[in-house]
Chain A
Amino acid sequence: MVNVEEIRDYAAGLLEKGEVKSVLGFRRGSASAFAEPCTITNVGEAASLVWDPTCLNNLALYLVKDRKQQAVSKTPDTRPVGIVAKGCDSRAIGVLLQENYFKREDVVVIGVSCEGTGVVDPRKLSAKLKGRTASRVTFAVQGSTSVAGGRTPGATDGADGINVSVYGDETETVIPAREVLADRCLECRAAAPALNDVVFGNTVEARDFNEPFHAAKEAERLSEDERWATWERHFDRCLRCFACRAVCPMCYCPECVVDSTTFVVTLGTSAEEKANRIRWCERSANTSESAVYHLTRAIHLAGRCIDCGECERVCPVNIPLRLLNTKLEKEAFEMFEYQAGHDIEQASLLSSFRDEDPNSFIR
């Protein structure tokens, strides 16, 4: 069980010693029971850091934002940044390091193991609470009373349930983790951050929720026509709000090749250059154009997506975007023994090959 005081002390220590300019972490949200990301820059703020199942965000995104800010700043502050990182967040940092987005010494990774659980899926929780709003969500302490549905065998440490209180009723209800955890947490293979400068919490090997890539495998089971019917519906309702791209730490490209609104135009950009920008898809939110956008994004994340599930969480029209990415990560893992963010020294998935890569699909 992670003691949040330890995280606070560590963050305070980093700031006190001046080892970092800031620490990225979570604090209590103002609007609901859900935690929100925060950047703390002085020791006093460390006490506001929280750690609970509502720490949903992938904070690696803010490392990217910091880097972008420093790049345009006249007086860049190049001191390292501390970051509270779950298993998935640390893998994201791993990919960013692999891609030289910043250097290892630029970041102090305060690892937090999700141990036997993970973070909740707000939609699942909301459904579970039947319209009531959670006021407090915490990890159920091991050995605590009244775990609905009984203990999960094999969960040896941490928590296997989520304590939830709702507004107007401060009695805690324990909901089995399986019922409210985000899909990616149910399929998580590395809940403890491997890349870290310090880790709080234990590594829990046996997390028998779902098999890895469970959701993608389920989706594969549908017939071709059913698959298309599903995805046509998804692409059709996409608003092209680009929230999925905005929340993704890997979508740090200066311009997005499938979004002409992002094309960088400066004073030095000639008319010919402007005219010669390739429009692989149109801006209109048609099924076909949204398909190009999402498929491109999926391919561009192949071997880079670390399955934080943020794209899916933020999608305002509930497109299960995570499926596209995990499908490719599944292929990468099964066919090429490649796992994104596991080795910062490895060549990327698409810039490497093995003689024994699948060949039988080729005529």
Chain B
Amino acid sequence: MSNPSQTTEVQDFEPRIVAFLCKWCSSAGSDLAGVSRIQYSANATPITIPCSGSVSPMYILSAFNKGADGVLISGCHPGDCHYMEGNYLARRKLYLVKELLQFIGLESDRFRMSWVSAAEGAKFAEVVDEFVEDLRVLGPQNRLKAER
């Protein structure tokens, strides 16, 4: 990061994030951030899904393949899942996805998971902002991105 040209690139670079938000907690939490007018980076585009447990690993691989610089999956805190268990299933599955992506050398900061409840508008904003900052440091995601 000592290279000055790289630094400029970092500042100009706007990461593109696909954010999968469960309908009941995290999407509601992002709604609360809106109602509370908490300002945060516009880099994450939300896709509302029923439950973090419904996330297929394909969604993550596909987003990276299509050029996402980061993928965020956010669900209800353990014990709070609207569907009781979905987030526990998500946690186990996505732990393995994370380990696999790291194993083949995708930068570990590119895939993130968070628990954001319907009451945590501020946390949602923080999660997005932190993610964007971490991705700015990494620069564009080229490792899994399709050349097309």
Contacts and interface: CB of A to CB of B under 8 A. Distances in A.
Interface of A: 216, 219-220, 224-232, 257, 278, 280-282, 286-289, 291-292, 295-296, 298-299, 302, 323-324, 327-328, 331-332, 335-336, 349-353, 355, 357-359, 361-363
Contacts of B146: 281-282, 286, 288-289
Interface in B78-130: 78, 85, 88-89, 91-93, 95-108, 112-115, 127, 130
B92 A327 contact: no
Interface class of chain A by DSSP: helix
Contacts of B10: none
Given A230-B105, A280-B61, A324-B104, A357 B115 contact: no
Contacts of A350: 89, 92-93, 96
A227 B103 contact: yes
B134 to A, nearest CB: 11
A238 B35 CA distance: 50
B105 A227 contact: yes
B1 interface: no
B114 A362 contact: yes
A227 B104 CA distance: 6
13 contacts: A216-B103, A219-B103, A227-B103, A281-B146, A287-B147, A288-B144, A298-B100, A299-B96, A302-B96, A328-B100, A335-B95, A350-B93, A362-B114
User: Interface residues of B toward A: which range?
Assistant: 35 or more
Given A280-B58, A288-B146, A295-B100, A361 B95 contact: yes
Contacts of A226: 105
Contacts of A295: 57, 61, 100-101, 104
A250 to B, nearest CB: 16
A146 to B, nearest CB: 42
Contacts of A292: 61-62, 65, 144
Contacts of B127: 363
A299 B57 contact: yes
Contact of B89 (A220, A231, A332, A353): A353
Interface centre among A219, A278, A295, A350 (most CB of B within 10 A): A295
A332 B93 CA distance: 10
Contact of B100 (A288, A324, A335, A355): A324
B145 interface: yes
B143 A361 contact: no
A240 to B, nearest CB: 14
A286 B127 CA distance: 33
Given A232-B143, A288-B144, A291-B104, A296 B98 contact: no
B78 A296 contact: no
A148 to B, nearest CB: 36
Interface centre among A286, A287, A323, A361 (most CB of B within 10 A): A361
Contact of B91 (A229, A287, A353): A353
Contacts of A357: 88, 91-92, 95
A363 B71 CA distance: 13
A295 B65 CA distance: 11
Interface string B39-68: 000000000000000000110011001000
A355 B104 contact: no
